[in-house]
A and B are shown apart, each in its own frame.
Chain A
Amino acid sequence: MNIPGTDALLGTPVSIPERGVANLSRRGLFGIGAGALLLGTMVRTRPARAQGEGMAAVAPRPGTQVPAFLEIRNDGKVRLLSPFVEGGQGIATAMAQIVGEELDFEPANFIVDCAPPGADYLIVNGRRLTGGSLSVRSSYATMRQLGATARNLLVRAAAARLDVPEGELTTEPGRVIHKASNRSLAYGELAEAAMKLPPSEVASLRDPATFRWIGKPVPRLDARDKSTGRAQYGIDLTVENMLQASVVHAPRLGQEPGAIANEAEVRGMPGVHSVHKLPGAVAVLADSWWRARKASEALNVTWAEGRHDRALPADFSSAGMLATLRAEKGAGSPAEESGNLAAAFASASKTIEAEYDAPYLAHAQLEPPSTIARFNGDGTLELWMPNQAPEVFQELAAKEAGLDASKVKVHSPILGGFFGRHFTYDAAAPYPQAIALAKAVNRPVKVIWKREEEFLRDGLRPMGFVRFKGAVGADGMPVALQAAAVGEGPIGRYFAANAPVDPSMVEGIAGKPYAIGAKRVDCVKLRQPPVIAFWRSVGHSMNDFFYESFLDELATAGGKDPFEMRLAMLKDSPRHATLLRAVADLSGGWKRGPFDAEGGKRARGVAMASPFGSEVATIAEVSITDGEIQVHDLWIAIDPGRAVNPGLIEAQVQSAAAIGLSSALLEEVVYENGEPQARNFDGYTILPHARMPRVHVKVVESGAALGGVGEPGVPGVPPAVANAVAALTGQRIRSLPMSKARLGSA
C-alpha cells in the first residue's frame, strides 16, 4: 500500500466541476471546499470565447487558443500571457524558451506577463496554480504545441500573402522565408491575418535534436530590470486617485476590534482620510502610506473576543502544541505497509527508537503583502494583488465584493518571493480589506501590510513530530522501520479533511526508495490550531530530515557507513544509486570523517529525497566553532529527468539549499498566549549572507519523466547537515532548528 504525497495529488489531472463556488457558505470555505479553492480545482468553466457560427459556444481545450496567449507585435516583440506567475523561479523565461522553440522566435524578444483569469489558462492538469514545482512539467507539451500551432498559422498566412504553397516556406527566428523568390515576411506583418485562420490540430513539432533554446541555460528575461530597480512588484503599483491604507490586526487571530479610544485624534493626524474597523483589524486611510502607518500605530484599540472559525485559543503556544503532539500515542492510519513488521523486530539483533520534531515556519518572503482595489464605472472591480492562483482569488474576491466573478479583473504582478505564501489562506491576504475599504470610501485603495502585520498573519509551515522505531539484523543492515507522523498538513486541512491519511504529513517518510524487509508508516492526525500553509517543499521540508537522520541512526546501530549502507539498500534502484554515486563524485569521493581541515575538524553527512517528481542526493560538510555549526559546502545532485534550462535549475537548487539550511539552522515561529513572538526579522532569523555555504550543483538527466525543480533542493539539506554534525560530534540533533542544540566542539 502506498499513499501518494503532495506531488501525486497536485500532479494528477482532475475533472473540473461544471459549477462555480458562489453557493458555498463561508463555513464551507473552511471545509474540503477550501482546499479545492486554495489550489484552483473548482474554477468555473466559462467558455473562453464563442467558437464556430450558429453553434452553441463550446469551451476550447485549455492551452490551445493562440490569441489568448500570444500577441505577435510589429516591434519585433512577442507578448506571452503566461499561465504562471513569476516570483523568482524563472518561469517567465522557461515559458519563452518552450514557446519560442516551436514558434521559432528568440526567447530574449518575449515580453512575458501573467495571464488574467480565464479558462484558456487552466493547463496545470486542468487547474491553474503556480506551485508544487509543477509549472514546466505540467505545461511543457501544451506550450510546445501552442508555439507550433502559432508558427503554422504564420506560415499559412505567409503562403496566402506571397501566393506560394506552404511547403515552400520555412522560418527563421521571427520571419517566414520563401527561399525560391528570396522574399521574407516578419511575424509582426503576418500576425493579424494569421490569427484569423482556423488553427491546425496537427501543427508539427520540432525534432528535439534541433532544439536551440530548450535544454540550454538561456538567460533570464528579467535580469536587467531586477538589477536596476525597474521591475515593478505589486507593492510598487499605483492607480490614479488612490488612498493608501495601513492596518493593525488583532494580536490574536479571532479577536475583533472594540472601542477605539482616540479615533478623533487619529483622524486629525497629518494626511489621514478616515479610520475603519474591519474583520479582525483596524485600518487607517491616508494620502501616503507612511502617514497611514503612523496613524495606525497611534490607534488605541480595545480588542474583544470574536467568533472567528479559526480563533486561536488564548493559551495556545507552540511549546504546548509540541507537548500535545508528543503525548498523542494513537495508532493512526497506515500510509505505507510492507513485510512482517512484528517478525522482523522479533528476529532483529538491535532495535532503536527516536522522536523527531520540527517547528512552525514563516514564509518570510521579502515583499510584504499588498493589494490595490478599484471599483470601476462599468461595475467591475479591478484588483492588483500577489497570488499563486488567479482564478481562485477572483472567485473569493467576487464573494467579498458581492459581484459575479466575471466582473472581477485580477492582475497578478511579479512576486517578491513566495515559497507557498500566496495561496488563499484564511485571514492571510489583504485583498478583503482593500475591497471593503475601496467600497467604503468610493475611491481606489492600496493596502500594504507592514512587516509586523505579515509575521502576525502569515500562514505557517505546520509543526512536525514523528516517532520512529527501527531495527538492524545480524549483518548490521536495516530490517525493519516503523514511523508514526503526528499532526496535520495542508493537504489534509484544505483537500481531504476526512481522508485517513494526509499525504503532506507522510511524504518524505512513506515511499522512500530503500530496500527494507518490513516497513510501516502511520499517519496520526491531530489538529493544529494555527492557519497552516504550504511552504517550499511542503511535508518534505521536514520529513526527509526526520527519516534520513533516523536512517543514519540505524547505520550507527548496525556499525555501517551511512553512505555505503544507502548504496547497498539502493542496489535494485539504479536511478537512485546512480544519483548517490554522482553526488559522491561531485564532492570528490565520499568521506565521512571526522577529518582535519583548515580551521579544525570537519565531517560530512549524506541524505536523499524524492520530492515533486525529481530525485535529489545531498552531501554537507560541517565544522563546529564555539558551539555553532558552520556549513562549508553543500554538494547537491538533482535528477529532474530532463533539463529545460540547466541555468535556472542550478539557481533554484542554490536557492533551495539556502532556505533548507536556513530552516535547519535558524528558523522557528514561536507562539505564546496565542500570539507569534517574533514580528520582524530581528526576532525571526533567516539565513544571512555570512552563513551561506558554497553550493555545488550537478544536474543529472536520467531521461525519466520531467520532475519539478523549484522545491526539490530543499529537503536533503537539513538531514545532510544533521548527519554531518553527528559524524563530527557524536551528537544526534532530533529537534529543529539546530541553533537550539548545545554542541560540544569536535
Chain B
Amino acid sequence: MLELNINGQTKQVDAEGDTPLLWVLRDTLGMTGTKYGCGIAQCGACTVLVDGNATRSCVTPAESVVGAQVTTIEAMESDPVGAKVVEAWVAGQVAQCGYCQSGQVMAATALLKATPKPTDEDIAAAMTNLCRCGTYNAIAAAVRQAATA
C-alpha cells in the first residue's frame, strides 16, 4: 500500500512500488487525463507536476513520489496558473487530436510557475513535448498569451 498526495488529496494505492505513477493515476485511480504515449519519457504526454516540476510520469516509480505533491491535469482549472493556461489553450484553439495537450498544458503550467514572463528561448527549452498534429506554433502562442493574462 502506497500513500500518495494527488491534487491535494491523500490516496491509498494498492500497487507495486515500482509501478509508474502514470499507471497508478490511470488504472488505479481512474484519472485518465494524463496520457500514455511512449513509456520512455520521449513524448511527454504523461507530464504531471511533482512538487511543481514538470515530470514524465511514465518513468516515475510511484514509490518515488511518496511524500511529494503530485498535481495532474484534472486540477488545472482550479490552479491559478493552470487556469490561465487552460483559458489560453481554449482561446487559442490549440488542440487538434488533443492527445498530447494534457501534457502540454502541464509543461506550460510548470514553466509559468517558475518563470512567469518567459522569453521565446524559455518557451522553447520548456515545451519539448511531442505533438504529431504539429500544433507547436499554437502552443507557443498560447504560452505567451497565458503569461500576459
A651 touches B96 (CB 8 A): yes
Q: Mark B60-93, 1 if CB is under 8 A from A, else 0.
A: 0000000000001110110000000010011001
Given A224-B90, A228-B86, A417-B132 in contact, is the A680-B40 Cβ separation under 8 Å?
yes
Given A416-B35, A680-B40 in contact, is the A690-B124 Cβ separation under 8 Å?
yes
| B100: Cβ under 8 A from any A Cβ | yes
CA distance A228 to B85 in the complex (A): 10
A694 touches B93 (CB 8 A): no
Give the nearest-CB partner of B139 in chain A.
Answer: A689
B76 touches A228 (CB 8 A): yes
Min CB distance B76 to A, Å, is 6
Q: Mark B121-149, 1 if CB is under 8 A from A, else 0.
A: 00010011111111111111000000000
B138 touches A654 (CB 8 A): yes
CA distance A230 to B105 in the complex (A): 13
| A226: Cβ under 8 A from any B Cβ | yes
CA distance A260 to B54 in the complex (A): 40
B134 touches A658 (CB 8 A): yes
B-chain residues with CB within 8 Å of residue A452 when the two chains form the complex: 39
| A189: Cβ under 8 A from any B Cβ | no
Min CB distance A616 to B, Å, is 16
| A657: Cβ under 8 A from any B Cβ | yes
Give the nearest-CB partner of A648 in chain B.
Answer: B93
A227 touches B97 (CB 8 A): no
Min CB distance A27 to B, Å, is 34
A236 touches B32 (CB 8 A): yes
A-chain residues with CB within 8 Å of residue B140 when the two chains form the complex: 689
A-chain residues with CB within 8 Å of residue B131 when the two chains form the complex: 366, 658, 689
| B16: Cβ under 8 A from any A Cβ | yes
B37 touches A451 (CB 8 A): yes
B-chain residues with CB within 8 Å of residue A223 when the two chains form the complex: 89-90, 93-95
Give the nearest-CB partner of B30 in chain A.
Answer: A238
B135 touches A230 (CB 8 A): no
CA distance A226 to B136 in the complex (A): 15
| A232: Cβ under 8 A from any B Cβ | yes
A220 touches B97 (CB 8 A): no
Within 8 A of B (CB), among A256-297: 270, 288-291
B132 touches A651 (CB 8 A): no
A416 touches B97 (CB 8 A): yes
A227 touches B95 (CB 8 A): yes
A687 touches B98 (CB 8 A): no
Give the nearest-CB partner of A652 in chain B.
Answer: B96
Give the nearest-CB partner of B123 in chain A.
Answer: A689
| A659: Cβ under 8 A from any B Cβ | yes
| A681: Cβ under 8 A from any B Cβ | yes
Q: Mark B97-112, 1 if CB is under 8 A from A, else 0.
A: 1111110010000000
Q: Mark B13-48, 1 if CB is under 8 A from A, else 0.
A: 001100110010011101011111111101101000
Give the nearest-CB partner of B62 in chain A.
Answer: A290
A-chain residues with CB within 8 Å of residue B133 when the two chains form the complex: 88, 417, 655, 658
B100 touches A230 (CB 8 A): no
B132 touches A366 (CB 8 A): yes
CA distance A118 to B86 in the complex (A): 37
A290 touches B23 (CB 8 A): yes
A367 touches B99 (CB 8 A): yes
A681 touches B42 (CB 8 A): yes
Main secondary structure of the interface of A (DSSP, over half): loop
A226 touches B98 (CB 8 A): yes
CA distance A690 to B122 in the complex (A): 11
A419 touches B132 (CB 8 A): yes
Could you say which of A366, A418, A451, A686 has the most chain B C-beta atoms within 10 Å of its C-beta?
A: A366
CA distance A311 to B15 in the complex (A): 40
Min CB distance B133 to A, Å, is 5
Give the nearest-CB partner of B87 in chain A.
Answer: A227
B-chain residues with CB within 8 Å of residue A89 when the two chains form the complex: 96
CA distance A732 to B35 in the complex (A): 41
Give the nearest-CB partner of A269 in chain B.
Answer: B16
From A232, A291, A654, contact of B137 by CB (8 A): A654
Within 8 A of B (CB), among A173-219: 219
A366 touches B95 (CB 8 A): no
Give the nearest-CB partner of A370 in chain B.
Answer: B36
B39 touches A450 (CB 8 A): yes
B36 touches A368 (CB 8 A): yes
Give the nearest-CB partner of A238 in chain B.
Answer: B30
Could you say which of B19, B36, B132 has the most chain A C-beta atoms within 10 Å of its C-beta?
A: B132
CA distance A244 to B86 in the complex (A): 32
Min CB distance B14 to A, Å, is 10
B98 touches A655 (CB 8 A): no
Within 8 A of B (CB), among A650-692: 651, 654-659, 662, 680-682, 686-690, 692
A226 touches B130 (CB 8 A): no
| A347: Cβ under 8 A from any B Cβ | no
CA distance A434 to B96 in the complex (A): 28
CA distance A517 to B135 in the complex (A): 42
B97 touches A367 (CB 8 A): yes
| A647: Cβ under 8 A from any B Cβ | yes
B27 touches A290 (CB 8 A): yes
| A231: Cβ under 8 A from any B Cβ | yes
Given A90-B96, A223-B89, A290-B23 in contact, is the A229-B42 Cβ separation under 8 Å?
no
| A617: Cβ under 8 A from any B Cβ | no
CA distance A659 to B131 in the complex (A): 10
A364 touches B132 (CB 8 A): yes
A270 touches B96 (CB 8 A): no
B-chain residues with CB within 8 Å of residue A230 when the two chains form the complex: 33
A-chain residues with CB within 8 Å of residue B27 when the two chains form the complex: 244, 288-290
Min CB distance A91 to B, Å, is 11
Give the nearest-CB partner of B127 in chain A.
Answer: A689
B-chain residues with CB within 8 Å of residue A231 when the two chains form the complex: 98
| A365: Cβ under 8 A from any B Cβ | yes
Min CB distance B136 to A, Å, is 4
| A555: Cβ under 8 A from any B Cβ | no
Q: Mark A219-248, 1 if CB is under 8 A from B, else 0.
A: 110111111111111011010000010000
From A229, A270, A651, contact of B33 by CB (8 A): A229
| A695: Cβ under 8 A from any B Cβ | yes
B97 touches A694 (CB 8 A): no
B-chain residues with CB within 8 Å of residue A658 when the two chains form the complex: 131, 133-134, 136
CA distance A657 to B138 in the complex (A): 13
CA distance A591 to B110 in the complex (A): 42
B100 touches A366 (CB 8 A): yes
Could you say which of A270, A290, A416, A419 has the most chain B C-beta atoms within 10 Å of its C-beta?
A: A290
Could you say which of B93, B124, B129 has the most chain A C-beta atoms within 10 Å of its C-beta?
A: B93
CA distance A30 to B95 in the complex (A): 37
A689 touches B128 (CB 8 A): yes
| A415: Cβ under 8 A from any B Cβ | yes
A219 touches B93 (CB 8 A): yes
Min CB distance B6 to A, Å, is 13
5 A-B pairs closest in CB distance: A229-B33, A658-B134, A226-B98, A88-B97, A416-B99
Return 14 A-B CB contacts under 8 Å, by A number. A87-B97, A88-B95, A225-B98, A228-B105, A229-B76, A236-B32, A270-B16, A415-B97, A417-B133, A682-B42, A689-B127, A689-B131, A690-B124, A694-B137
13 further A-B contacts with Cβ under 8 Å, apart from A451-B40, A659-B132, are: A219-B93, A223-B93, A224-B86, A227-B86, A229-B73, A229-B74, A236-B32, A417-B133, A651-B138, A662-B134, A680-B38, A681-B40, A690-B124
B-side residues, CB < 8 A to A, are 15-16, 19-20, 23, 26-28, 30, 32-40, 42-43, 45, 72-74, 76-77, 86, 89-90, 93-102, 105, 124, 127-140
